A and B are shown apart, each in its own frame.
Chain A
Amino acid sequence: MTLPAVVLLVVFNYVPLFGLATAFQEYDPLAGVWESTWAGLYQFERLLSDSLFWGALKNTLYLSFVQLVLFFPVPIALALLLNSVLSERIRNFIQSVVYLPHFFSWVLAITIFQQMLGGAGAVNHFLRSNDIGTWDVMTNPDTFALLVTSQVIWKEAGWGIIVFLAALAAINTDLYEAAAADGAGRWRRLWHITLPGLRSVIVLMLVLRLGNALTVGFEQFLIQRNAVGHDTAEVLDTFSFYYGIATGDYSYGAAAGLFKSVISLLLIWGANKLAHAFGEDGLYRK
């Protein structure tokens, strides 16, 4: 019964692993993997001396950092806020609304942002008609990191609360009652009961985020790269695409991809070690 899934995974996941050999070649589409000339570490040497690649790496790390600082706390705060709403009806309604954008495609989400915040968008129209001047964030490289992070918040923060809501529901209410009886106020209970109750989930999400530090989203940048310019919007994934597939330099793109995968594996491993050091399970147990 597992056969169809296994076949698909072997063909589209394991066979490409061998295709990574192209990263050590001068791949020629006409000759194929078997006949292409081997190039050793040549492609990696090219990468390391390519300022465009370093630019992409720098952008990726920067965007990852901004997302960690600005995005990560939002779902936690939202979950705490929502959890404090007593009416089941209101809670359900808010949940259905905030989950929704998670199911939008990036094309749709960015179109919506463009219509609202772009040069001809609703906000700028309002500013113009009140003689305040325009403020085109969609094409401004300086604010690009904030723009993409706010897009991620708009699209994914609502969905992100689910896991925290589940953890909140699992906290024993007797603890709150006992603490209240001992005179602990609202904020002390939050600090001493709620946050420790969320600790393992927060650590798990943090491990995932750190392990994926080199992945900041692909389609989101692919769509917006031309509007802001590649200096700011090029990330490692779009780099592989533009310098691998779009220009036909497959080996070069594959080398960039392999570089990213290896570092990512190390990051996941490292982040998980860190989680174990804090006495948490992290992504996998020992």
Chain B
Amino acid sequence: MTLAIERIDTGTGSKTAASQEVRRRRRTERPSWEEPPTLAGEAAKGITLGGVLLIMLVPLWIIVVTSLSTQAAVNRAGGLVIWPDGLTLEAYKVMLADSTVRTALLVSLGITAVGTLVSMVVSVLCAYGLSRSRSLGHRFILMLLIITMFVNGGLIPTFLVVTGLGGYGQWWALILPSAVSVFNILILRAFYSSTSLDLIEAARIDGAGDWRILWSIVLPTSRAVTAVMALFYGVGYWNSFFNVMLYMPTDSEKWPLQYVLLTYVNRGNGMPGSVNSGFGSQFAQTAPLSLQMAVVVLTLVPLLVVYPFVQKHFRTGVLTGAIKG
């Protein structure tokens, strides 16, 4: 039995024949045998793709503009502001002065940083161990991993185990249960088993141990896939809110940003705890729209900061693997 994921094309990053062939075939100009495009066809294509872009970008634009608008501008527009009409950073100042949002931001950043680190260390070690096919019990461990992709206890037994271990209200309950993605391990493994085999052999002959090989050869030669995996894990931690709902639903001091966004903006509730924060009744009720949109933007910003750096590594190879499972 071979899983689809074990057939991943690891063309990315490595200079395999396949990837070069793909690059060669990428067309940048119309080949001579192709019939010239019709005007109507080109127009339809342009309109469709333009429409797709607008559907993606316009909502983000409106949200950013509204978050930067003055209260007067929001009132004039009667809601969301589409064209800038009196801009101010007031909403951001008020938001960052509020202790609930500040705490939530720190919690989110902390969980994301620690979680991503834990996940990456565990996954890289496991993937490297599994990529050395002569290692002890390698086939058995691989099966052990793959089985969890198809069979798991489900929500309630997992919840009972975590709470049984005393995880209720603990930070580790937000990180450890979902720290390992077998899927990501299999992708990393596929890369590690195909890249720089000659180098590894040479290093081994020179007397380098596994740790040394992993640190000085495997990791440096697989930067692209490492970056993409870290992004996947990081985004997972940054976006998670359901585990908060499970393990710390009432403890608003420990809420990450996503949960604040859900309570405060999506459900339109007041901010718990903000009555005592010195910013008074304004937060106890539904917040002004610009402030709500500022919270939305705050959850977006880290993503938009990291995305361009990692996005260039999304070549088809990494992502083919990522999608297949």
A103-B235 in contact given A1-B125, A4-B121 (Cβ < 8 Å)? yes
Chain A hits for B25, CB < 8 A: 169, 172-173
Closest beta carbon of chain A to B41's beta carbon, Å: 8
B260 to chain A, nearest CB (A): 10
Interface flag for A115 (CB, 8 Å)? yes
User: Which of B30, B52, B157 contacts A22, CB < 8 Å?
Assistant: B157
A87-125 vs B, CB cutoff 8 Å, 1 = contact: the mask equals 110000011111111011111101110111000111001
Q: Is the CB of A5 within 8 A of B266?
A: no
A277 within 8 A of B: no
- Contact check, B262 vs A20: say whether CB atoms are below 8 A apart: no
A241 to B317 CA separation, bound complex (whole angstroms):
37
Are A122 and B324 in contact, CB atoms less than 8 angstroms apart?
no
Q: Check if A121 sits within 8 Å of B80, measured CB to CB.
A: yes
A-B contacts, CB under 8 A, total: 263
A82 at the interface (CB under 8 A from B): yes
Bound together, the chains give a CA A160 to CA B130 distance in angstroms of 29
CB-CB under 8 A for A177 and B156, given A129-B78, A163-B323: no
Q: Which residues of A contact B (CB under 8 A)?
A: 1-2, 4-6, 8-9, 11-20, 22, 27, 32-33, 78, 81-82, 84-88, 94-101, 103-108, 110-112, 114-116, 120-122, 125, 129, 154, 158-160, 162-163, 165-166, 169-170, 172-173, 176-177, 180-181, 185-186, 204, 218-219, 222-223, 237, 240-241, 244-245, 250, 253-254, 257-258, 260-261, 265, 268, 281-286
Say whether A97 contacts B57, CB under 8 Å: yes
Partner of A122, one of B62, B152, B314: B62
Cβ of B156 and Cβ of A253 under 8 Å apart?
yes
Contact A173-B158, Cβ < 8 Å, known A20-B153, A81-B49: no
Residues of B in contact with A (beta carbons under 8 Å apart): 1-4, 7, 9, 22, 25-31, 33-35, 45, 48-49, 52-53, 55-57, 59-60, 62-63, 78-80, 82, 121-123, 125-126, 128-130, 141, 144-145, 148, 150-162, 164-165, 176-180, 182, 185, 210, 231, 235, 238-242, 245-246, 258-259, 261-262, 265-266, 293, 296, 299-300, 303, 307-308, 311, 314, 316-317, 319-320, 322-324
Contact of B160 among A19, A81, A286 (CB under 8 A): A19
* Pairs A-B, 7 closest by C-beta atoms: A16-B153, A19-B157, A105-B239, A1-B129, A257-B154, A5-B126, A16-B157
* CB proximity of A90 to chain B, nearest CB, Å: 8
- B111 to chain A minimum Cβ distance, whole angstroms, is 13
